[in-house]
Amino acid sequence: MKRSLLFAMGALLGGALLFTSCGKDEKTEDPDVRDAAVGNYTGTTTYYWATDEGMEADEETFGKPNSINGSVEKDAEQLSAIRLAFDGDVFYGNKIAAASNGFTFDIEPQTVEDVKVTGYNVAKLGTAEYNGMFLSDDKTLTFGMKISIEDFIDLFFDEEDEDSWIIALAIAAVADEEGIDYVVVKYDLTKR
């Protein structure tokens, strides 16, 4: 009898230890930092010259910032990427890194409407610079990319629109005179 009682107590103790240790092995998944950024946005795009010193504003050539609307989605194919869709153009942000108040990301080199775009550092977090950043407290998204002067002119030039001829000539003249090869497009957006 003592033996049966001892055996039953040992079995209960062993079972209890087994079940409590299994609970400790379960991993909790980190929240997906992209979730807070998913949604619709409104904001502006601003064009700059890409110079050796950084970005140089030129409102006379490029005009004032343009209004823009769009959305951010999680990229279903890449777990560490976002899909940025603004006024018919789609860009992809990758290399997402969590920050204390959101996340940073890079813009993948890609071709949009036969125009090659690459990421350009326009977002600052402390002393580090990134192609893009989402800040969850104020729900802002900033990202930038650079486009060659030739591609930029092709993108905005319309043979039937006289104003686009004038703008194209002005951009080409300034770029040639200053020895500038790229235009930077900066997106400043707020989640609605």
pLDDT at residue 25, rounded to an integer: 52
Q: Mean pLDDT for each 10-residue chunk of the chain (192 residues)?
A: 51 52 56 94 96 91 92 89 94 93 94 91 93 97 96 83 86 93 96 96
pLDDT of residue 167: 84
Q: 127: Cβ–Cβ under 8 A, 6 or more apart, which residues? A: none
Longest dimension (CA), the chain: 104
**H or E stretch covering 57:** strand 54-57
| Domain ranges for the chain | 33-191
pLDDT score, position 4: 55
pLDDT the model gives residue 22? 53
The Cα 73–Cα 57 span in angstroms is: 30
pLDDT at 15: 55
Q: Which helix (H) or strand (E) holds 59?
A: helix 59-62
